[in-house]
Structure formats: C-alpha cells, structure tokens
A and B are shown apart, each in its own frame.
Chain A
C-alpha cells in the first residue's frame, strides 16, 4: 500500500471517501491569465521567480510551477490595485538594470548574470514598497504551496497521524511544508 493508498484508506475509515474522491488537481498554468499583462511580461516574471528559486539536484525551480501566472493572479486578486504598479515598476527596473549592466535583456542573460541583477536590485534603496520584496514573497508562497515545491523541495505530510515533540534533525533534512 503506497502513501496515497494509505491516506485514502484512513479517509475511508473516517467516512471521508467522497471528499477524497472529489479532490481537484489544479495547476496555475490551467487558470486564466489576468488581463492587462502580455505573455512576455508573464514569461519575464517566471524567469525572475525561477532565478530566485532555481532548479537544483533534488527539486525543480519556480519556473516549473508557472510562477509568473501565480504572481500575476495573486497580485490581481489578493492585493490592493497599487500592487500592480509596484509589479510593473519591478519589471521595468529589472529590465533597465539588465541593459545597464550587461547591455541586453534579462531574458537572454545566463543564470549567474540574472542572479547578479536581482541581488543588486534587492540591495538598492528604491521607493517603497520594494518591488523585489513583492515578487519574492509571491514566489516563495507560490512555489512552496505548489505540489512540486511542497513535496519535492520540502517534506509534505498532509495527515501526520501524530505529533512527536522531539525528533532528531539529521543534516540535510528539510522543513515541513505545512
């Protein structure tokens, strides 16, 4: 019995089979794009998010969870309208920084150059709220609450079964997703 089977069994015992069966599996890429943003802007955001949280040996990066679409949707749905302007300011600042430092667009820089641009931008004192703070907040939220981030970059245990107060942490062990 694998993990999913075990959980299904537990839910079944509790009479929650109907709920379990009804679980949707949605991804951000499947959601409609917020209006007012073109595909290039969304792609740029995804690349910024993937630079903040890149693919590593153990788990894919934020680009693998359609992070640009998530940042746009979340900004539109959950933040005051001013956040859209902050986001646009961030994209334009990052584009300008790329041009200024490397003479080309962010999207054609290699990873080290992209990290350089974002690191320098993060350290710059710009008008508050700092756009990179907004982008980073949503990148972190979107990635670690996506199935990929929660289950591969972290440890995801939706039904722990018990609380153990003292567990030895071995080197390299990851945080809980929940």
Chain B
C-alpha cells in the first residue's frame, strides 16, 4: 500500500532534521544542519517575516507614526502583560504576542513576553552579547545547586564560531570574568562615561568598567557583507527590524544562509503539538503539527529533532509529548521536566546627576551601554547571598523630553528645552537567580489553547536570595555613583515580575547525571538521544550575562555533534 502523504516515508513529509522554532537558536540549528547537507524542516508557529520587506516601520520618522510612538489605550489595556515590555510600542507592537491570543495561567505573577513569527524574538532582542566565563560554568557545582556537564574551554571555540558569523562588537578587555571574543570595533564612550570609568576603577580594584559588547556590525567583514548585511548606522531603532541588517537576527543572517544551501524548508503557521515517540526504535520519529490557520493536523518525520521553541514553549512541547514510554512528557523519567526555571533579576536601578561637562556632547545613538562584569562571589563565596550580578551603565544629557516637567512658557522656555540639558548617569543590574525546583512550569489540566493544546501554568517567583542580592547592588551602586561624584542619587526597585527580563532559562537542564538533569553534554535528551534542546530551556544556571550568545554557541556545537553522530550511524 502506498504511503499516505503524512506517513513516514512520504518524501514531502520526511526530512533529515526538524527544527522547532526559528528564533535565535532555531536559526542557528537550521544554518548548521543545512550547511552540513541535511534536508531540514524549520517549523515556526507564527507568520513569515521577510528580512527588510516585513519591517514596515523601520524607516518611519516620528511624525509618520500616528501617535508618535505611543500605543493607543485600547491596545495597552488589552495587553496588560505585553505593555510592560520596554520595547512594545507603536513602531514595534506587530512583533509581540498579544495577551489575548495566547493566554497562560500564572500561579505566581509572571510576565511572559513572546514573539511568534519567523525570527522569533531575534528581531526584538536587546542584542547584548557576552561570553560566559569559567566561573559561571563552575559556580553552580561549587555552590551546590547544579552541575554543568561542559566547561568554558569546551564552549570557547563555538563562541568564536558564532561570533565570527554574527558580528560582535567589543574591546579586548583581557578579563578572566568576561572572556574576550572575536570582536569588531567597540562603540565609543562619551566624556562622562570615561570619567565614571576612571573614577570607579580608581576606587575599586576588582570592578571593571568596560564598553558593552553587542551583535552590531560596527565594521562589517567580508563574511557579513556576503550575508547582505551592512554597517550599523547608529539609529538605535533596532526593535523595528533593521533594514541594513546591521544587527544579528535569524531573518537577516542564519535563515538566509540556511536557505542558500537549498536544504531548507521553512514552514510558518506551524504549531507543534508534540514530538512523536517510536517505541520500536526508542527514538523520536517526528512531530505533530497543527496548522495555525486551517487547524489541520499534520505529521512530519526526521532522524533528529531540534527543539528551539524558546524556553517555556520548549518545556510545554516536551511536557505535551506524552507516550506509553513517557507518560509525563518526553525524556521525563524523574519528574524534573519543567522544573528549575530561572531568570535574571532586573529589579534594581540607580540614577544620579553629574555636574559640569557642559561643553561636551555626542552624536549618533549607540545601541549598547557600558557594563561591569560580575565581581561578587567570583572566586569564593563572600557575601550573604549566592552568585552575583552584572551592572549596566550609561550617561547622557537631558533632551527635549524634560520640557514636559520644566516650568515656564514662551520663547525662553522653548530656548531652554531645545538645548542639551544637564548630564545624568544611570545603572541597572542583571542578577543571577538560582534555579530552584519549586520554580516550574506545567501543563494546565483545565485550560487549552485554540488548537486544543494544554495551556502552560507558570509557577515562578523570587526568593530571599534575590532580595539580598538586590540590596547589595543598591549599596555597591550607591558607593560607585558617589565615587563618580554623582548628586541626587536615587535607587529604584521596579519590583517587576519574573519574566519581564525575557531571559527565562531552564526546565530541561543539562547535566552529567541523568537522574538530576534532562540533557547530556551534547544537549541530547538522556532518555531519547535524537532530540536536542538548545534554547534557553537547556540552561543549568543563568550566569549574569545576556544569554543569547551562549544559546547560539550551544546550538552550533550540538548541531555539529548531531551531524557527526548521524554520519557515524549512531543516530
């Protein structure tokens, strides 16, 4: 009997590899697998977004936006979660999931910010990219809450691999706590920032103020020009999509590279319901997909499956992939799937005013900030909290926006508010949180989405450790701003919910011990070796760095391992 179109073996439904998700890690999986000669199907639940063609606001002037960038109130009130994201505005809202379209249950308050489209959140990420150090990989075992199965040295060449292609700007700072990478020229500091750098590093030996590292082409190399990408124009309108391809996204970089091989099939509007498990082989055979538009169910088959649906949705898909062998979700023999979710603590910020520097200004808009690698508990435990935090800095002059709160009217008022105002300096934290078993996601038993898939329940909260770490950041931040000579220093606890950091990680963590983790050192499920998880879900701990660069490096490494294993006949 001939195979039906959706049976295993039907060519149009059978591939060498399936990648679930087209965001920052899925794009890398697609590129590596396609370039290795594998016929690869990339499933994206959202609509297609073509580089440049589908960035409708990218070149709009402020006066071209009906509400000058502010979102109308009906959209704001309809999106109590999405509206909290700093990047959600009139020029970018089309790249964000609207609350009503994809509900979930918050057992504890959790702001889940999502981008369902080809390219995922790689279109709207903050583009800050730092390598982890050995201290970040070794820390969890030292502190007794987890164990990374890989070392910094093992990942270092893969960092280099992704950095060369993506294009990362930064200085060679020579710091053990934040290893250097393959850098394009760094962005400049302004005069007050240089002043702050000198004062802080003069006063505190272990606190390094460096220029931020980001995925922007400050001086494109031949490999970037070959991708059709150009130099960053310092517009800082990145969240609209970059028509110059100057920042790294799946849309501008990895997906076109994958497509150029002829091996890529990209299928938008494809909601993955579950991964199919084959008892006979002990492996996954493919995935079940619900068409987001027609709601028809289809199955696709492949020898390997990469799960890159973004952290929480990757957890959801695995939890929903239930079979006789895995009644609690694929690979979940010990009930740990969905647990140990962690995130970054972004609650603290400080600001102050700086006197002087009145004849100094700057031009252009820099897409990064200064930063300070973590200096707490690096080599040993030394505080009343576990782990540490990175600090971001910036200084700038008040602009016309301060006119709203400036007293006065008339020509003198107009004159005053059109001149650069006083300097201000600000600091914010990016704190590591410790993955705790109780911080978890699970499938709702009551609520389903419009495709009949169980909704996700989030049960993720802060811990006393996070409060103590925040307190320390305020004290250290205060002393640093005082050293800089800042006046009117204000500290602020945003008390923001977990999730708004958009750095969710864990739930399918890597580890040496298959009883304490889900994934091995190659990101394969311990219990189902042809399924790879390489997005945020795989993270054993969070570090203090922006995570995307590490997802990219882990993905490229795992994809090349998968290719090698396929060639050896092991998969």
A positions within 8 Å CB-CB of B: 10-11, 13-16, 18-20, 23-27, 31, 51-54, 56, 61, 73-74, 77-80, 111, 115, 118-119, 122-123, 133, 136-137, 140-142, 144-147, 150, 153-154, 157-169, 173-178
Contact = CB atoms under 8 A, between A and B. Distances in A.
B242 to A, nearest CB: 9
A69 to B, nearest CB: 12
A19 B50 CA distance: 13
Interface residues of B, number: 66
B68 A145 contact: yes
Contact of B62 (A20, A53, A150): A150
Contacts of A169: 358-361, 420
Contacts of B230: 13-14
Contacts of A161: 231, 233-234, 364
B52 interface: yes
A178 B62 contact: yes
B361 A154 contact: no
A54 B411 contact: yes
Residue among B64, B358, B364 with max Cβ neighbours from chain A (10 Å): B364
A129 to B, nearest CB: 12
Contacts of B410: 51-52, 54, 111, 115
Interface string B236-258: 10000001110000000000000
A167 B363 CA distance: 7
Contacts of B63: 26-27, 145-147, 150
Contacts of B231: 161
Which DSSP category, helix, strand, loop or mixed, fits chain B's interface? loop
B193 A165 contact: yes
Contacts of A136: 403-404, 409
A137 B404 CA distance: 4
Contact of A153 (B72, B245, B360, B418): B418
A109 B172 CA distance: 64
Given A19-B243, A178-B62, A160 B361 contact: no
12 contacts: A16-B58, A77-B67, A118-B409, A142-B68, A145-B62, A160-B363, A160-B364, A162-B364, A163-B188, A164-B363, A165-B362, A173-B361
B71 A78 contact: yes
A168 B69 contact: no
B52 A15 contact: yes
Contact of A51 (B70, B71, B76, B409): B409
B420 A140 contact: no
Contacts of B222: none
Interface stretch (B141-149, B393-401, B458-466): B393-401
B243 A16 contact: yes
Interface in B170-194: 187-191, 193-194
B233 A26 contact: no
**The 10 nearest A-B residue pairs measured at CB:** A165-B188, A163-B364, A160-B364, A16-B243, A145-B62, A140-B403, A137-B404, A169-B361, A145-B68, A163-B366
A140 B401 contact: yes
B190 A166 contact: yes
B354 to A, nearest CB: 15
A160 to B, nearest CB: 4
B55 interface: yes
B73 A80 contact: yes
Contacts of B567: none
A164 to B, nearest CB: 5
Contacts of B72: 77-78
A175 B419 contact: yes
B59 A147 contact: no
B404 A141 contact: yes
A169 B413 CA distance: 20
Contacts of A174: 418-420
B325 interface: no
Contacts of A140: 400-401, 403-404, 417
A166 B414 contact: no
Given A14-B230, A166-B190, A115 B62 contact: no
Given A52-B409, A167-B360, 11 more contacts: A56-B411, A61-B414, A77-B67, A115-B409, A122-B407, A133-B405, A140-B401, A147-B61, A168-B360, A169-B358, A175-B418
A23 B64 contact: yes
B11 interface: no
A172 to B, nearest CB: 8
B495 interface: no
A167 B361 contact: yes
A19 B418 contact: no
B67 A74 contact: yes
Contacts of B365: 160, 163, 178
A54 B411 CA distance: 6
Interface string B368-412: 000000000000000000000000000001011101110111110
B202 interface: no
B476 interface: no
A165 B244 CA distance: 22
A168 to B, nearest CB: 6
Contacts of B244: 14, 16
B411 A166 contact: no
A12 to B, nearest CB: 10
A140 B503 CA distance: 35
A55 to B, nearest CB: 9
B362 A163 contact: yes
Nearest to A31: B66
Contact of A166 (B59, B66, B188): B188
A120 B56 CA distance: 45
Interface in B60-118: 60-64, 66-73, 76
A31 B66 CA distance: 9
B417 A163 contact: no
Contact of B70 (A18, A54, A74, A165): A74
A146 to B, nearest CB: 5
Contacts of A79: 73
Contacts of B59: 11, 16, 19-20, 23, 158
Contacts of A20: 59
A163 B408 CA distance: 33
A109 B409 CA distance: 15
A166 to B, nearest CB: 5
Contacts of B66: 26, 31
Contacts of A119: 408-409
B282 interface: no
Residue of A26, A79, A168, A176 with highest tally of chain B CB at under 10 A = A176
